[in-house]
Structure 1
Amino acid sequence: MRSFKPKSHLSSALSFLTIIAIIWYVFYSQTPSAAVEDSLPATEWSTARALEHVKAMSVQPHHVGSAAHDDVRDYVVTQLQAMGLQVTTQKGYTMDPWGNLANPENILARIKGSQDNSKALLLLSHYDSDPHSSKGASDAASGVATILEGVRTFLAQNKQPLNDIIICITDAEELGLNGAELFVNEHPWAQDVAMVLNFEARGSGGPSYMLVETNGGNRKIIEEFSNAGVEYPVANSLAYSIYKMIPNDTDLTVFRKDGDINGLNFAFIGDHYDYHTELDNYERLDRNTLAHQGAYLMPLMNHLSNIDLSDELKVPEGDDYVYFPMPIIKMVSFPFKWLPFLIIGSGLLLVVLIVYGIRKRRISFGQILAGFVPFLGSLIIGYLLSNYGWVGIKSGSFYVDQQHGFSYNGYWLIAAAAMTAATLCFFLYHKYYKKDNVASLSIAPLFILWLVCLLIAFPVGDGGL
């Protein structure tokens, strides 16, 4: 009969709860908690005030050509004029990527800086909704509302910036980035722009991700982003590298391609099934997500409008930083050129630890090789179950496919797949676990992780993360 070991079970339970607590904190710390308060001072960005703009602009679908589209444009113009800004519109004809002629009408305003002939910071979003049933609360009334509330807050502080701040609310983004193309290629203000902050959405919730748009390296952009003191940075160089490989474009892409202008995208993708559907409405917009957009805008607007933008934050291609967020520390970054030395150094350290473990008889080659069985086994079986389980679910008669490939219960499916994979991992390691082989079992995952990092640091062919 197997004896019961209360201390062992208590240790296991505490370890499990600690892991759960860490995971919870990582997600919790990504976005601010949006207490929608109506009584915040005028000099502070308010989620409640931004929500009023979202509600006003998302009453009904407002795609190009609709009566509601004109109403939203007039609303944005009126709000900017109420702040004391001189507002103009830019109207013209552009051709979208499919050869269709569009007649966008952009909304423009400018806050004058104290330094003449300085470069300008541009705040960017679009006011048209998808040409279907979408009310466009997230995409992109949330972006326009973030800018309106941000500009109002900035002006309420009665501080003149060093650089000009241009507000550009584009039109016909959903048709083919037509408003951005019109501004970048035909408006004289485009020549003054050194940096763009673009606010977008591909869902209705979740953290807002920062993605860099640049034709050169990202080093100076990341330095200034860190210097701005953003409280909830959700940004990493892996996402930046992946974004450069995928075909998705925003208005900011036009600034980079046609104007060679750097910028930052801030976009959220949670609840993706709401994207470009009737579910993109005021009620479903996550309040924490909207607060997160404001948490990006205010420190960045204050910082970038008061530094020298004359060099346009440009550095040669390849002059990049590796960067990622960390709780409490906020943002960690270091030159990409350090990565090979870090990888080689960690590899040597791993070898030293293995040799030390063998000499101390805590590690053996046989147990190291055996350790690859539960590790690779859990990866392979987890992949097969998740991948072909999804194929089976999609083929079932109860499943209704979604327009964007992400189902309404997608998060539950991901959670189920993750828990299944974790259960398999625990089960396989439990079968191989012995008191004297813990160190040996740790080598396989450490080696595979190091190998992945090695391939990143020394990529085969072009690219690299």
Structure 2
Amino acid sequence: MKKLFIPLLSVALLVSCGTAKTSSDSASATASSSVKGDKAFLAAYKEIKTEDLKKNLYVIASDEMEGRDTGSPGQKKAGEYMVNYYKSLGIGFPKALGSYYQTVPSAFMKLRGGENLPDSENILAFIEGSEKPEEIVVISGHYDHVGTRNGVVYNGADDDGSGTVAVMEIAKAFQSAKKAGKGPKRSILFLHVTGEEHGLFGSEFYTNNPVFPLANTVVDLNIDMIGRDDPENRGKQYVYVIGSEMLSSQLKVINEAANKNTNNLELNYKYDDPSDPQRLYYRSDHYNFAKNNVPVAFFFDGIHEDYHKPTDDVEKIDYPLLTKRTQLVFATAWDLANRTERIVVDKK
């Protein structure tokens, strides 16, 4: 996640002293469709496995990837691993793009403050919808991190290795449903963006140059850090959800219903406020969709003690909780992709 440059003491106080707002069940029953009892959903849901998330994360966040700084050889190596993963599953890329790669030029990033960054790439995998292929559900996460500093690798296992492997695992689940003849009615774009740590560059480039019209983009479910817990929620089964009711009154209801019918995590809305001092609504890639009037939900685990430190390593990930959070995003995406009518934008 993009770093906010405020004093570390202030970060600690903000994390430890705020009062959380948690979800209620009152809205859940009003969801227009449900994953509960759907055999196709349940079969796909079971494809999201802890051991597979762990296997992929041990590669993505390994020293070999050199911290995945934007445009670096290590990031490109991680990207190659991801592309080969999608190929192995039989998941293709958007035809209009012509490959899995969308180049994000150095010149574009330099104009926005990304001095000396080389060309980099967003990675796009795609499953076409069976009934409404022109309508797009985006599931996103950034795969860059901050690289190597003073010879020390910053592996970014949580930030955002956890989100990267979650997107990959969700893609596998949707593809398994498609192979069983129960593919999503709407198309799913699995969007791995670059340059987030330097200024949300990859997602800005995508929304400025969308492969699919933003008017046809139903939602962006953005995953940025879902593998750990923060001091305020140590040991809890929770996830922060940010922005889910900013633009659509339906998205939060759908997400809560999906949660209630699956792992029933504590949905924490502490940061679901644009005026919050941490400004988390503005600090990850969903924001570039939101400012283009696309409904968003951002899934996040909080600011923990290894955030943007070389100690953000794979051994510290809570893999069962990572699995549950990944399953929640999948369940929410399943509903959004398969409901009769797309969700409405009814807020400003």
Aligned twin of 2:252: 222
- Could you tell me which amino acid in structure 2 is paired with residue 54 of structure 1? L
Aligned twin of 2:32: none
Does residue 144 (structure 1) correspond to residue 164 (structure 2)? The answer is: yes
Unpaired runs of at least 5, structure 2 = 1-21, 23-42, 94-99, 231-237
Aligned twin of 1:287: 319
Distance 1:298 1:213, change over 3 A: closer
SS in 2 for 1:120: strand
Moved over 6 A (4+): none
Shift of 1:45: 1.2
Q: Which has the higher contact order (CA 8 A, sep 6+)?
A: 2
The sequence identity of aligned pairs, in percent, is: 21
Tell which deviates more after alignment, 285-294 or 206-215: 206-215
- Could you tell me which amino acid in structure 1 is paired with residue 55 of structure 2? E
- Could you tell me which amino acid in structure 2 is paired with residue 313 of structure 1? V
1:123–1:168 Cα contact (<8 Å) kept: yes
- Rounded to whole Å, the distance in 2 between the matches of 1:99 and 1:42 is 39
2:103–2:120 Cα contact (<8 Å) kept: yes
Aligned twin of 1:59: 62
Between structure 1 and structure 2, the one with the greater Rg is: 1
- Rounded to whole Å, the distance in 1 between the matches of 2:245 and 2:114 is 27
Aligned twin of 1:111: 127
The residue correspondences of 1:32-431 to structure 2 (distance < 5 A) are: 43-60=46-63, 61-87=67-93, 88-93=100-105, 94-95=108-109, 97-98=112-113, 100=115, 102=117, 103-116=119-132, 118-132=134-148, 133-157=153-177, 158=180, 159-191=182-214, 192-201=216-225, 204-205=228-229, 207-212=238-243, 215-216=246-247, 218-228=248-258, 229-241=261-273, 246-248=278-280, 249-257=283-291, 259-269=292-302, 272-310=304-342, 312-317=343-348
Tell which deviates more after alignment, 40-49 or 89-98: 40-49
Distance 1:287 1:115, change over 3 A: same
TM-score, length of structure 1 as denominator length: 0.54
**Count of matched residue positions in the alignment of Structure 1 and Structure 2:** 275
Distance 1:100 1:232, change over 3 A: farther
Distance 1:260 1:81, change over 3 A: same
Shift of 1:238: 4.8
Distance 1:243 1:51, change over 3 A: farther
| RMSD, aligned CA | 2.6
- Rounded to whole Å, the distance in 2 between the matches of 1:213 and 1:227 is 13
TM-score, length of structure 2 as denominator length: 0.71
- Could you tell me which amino acid in structure 1 is paired with residue 302 of structure 2? I
- Could you tell me which amino acid in structure 1 is paired with residue 264 of structure 2? Y
1:123–1:196 Cα contact (<8 Å) kept: yes
- Rounded to whole Å, the distance in 2 between the matches of 1:185 and 1:244 is 27
Deviations 1:33-74 (A, max 9, x none): xxxxxxx99943101111100001111222124321111010
Shift of 1:86: 1.6
1:268–1:289 Cα contact (<8 Å) kept: no
More helix by percentage: 1
- Could you tell me which amino acid in structure 2 is paired with residue 49 of structure 1? D
1:203–1:269 Cα contact (<8 Å) kept: no
1:183–1:190 Cα contact (<8 Å) kept: no
Shift of 1:230: 4.3
Shift of 1:122: 0.7
Deviations 1:426-458 (A, max 9, x none): xxxxxxxxxxxxxxxxxxxxxxxxxxxxxxxxx
1:54–1:282 Cα contact (<8 Å) kept: yes
Distance 1:99 1:107, change over 3 A: closer
Shift of 1:153: 2.2
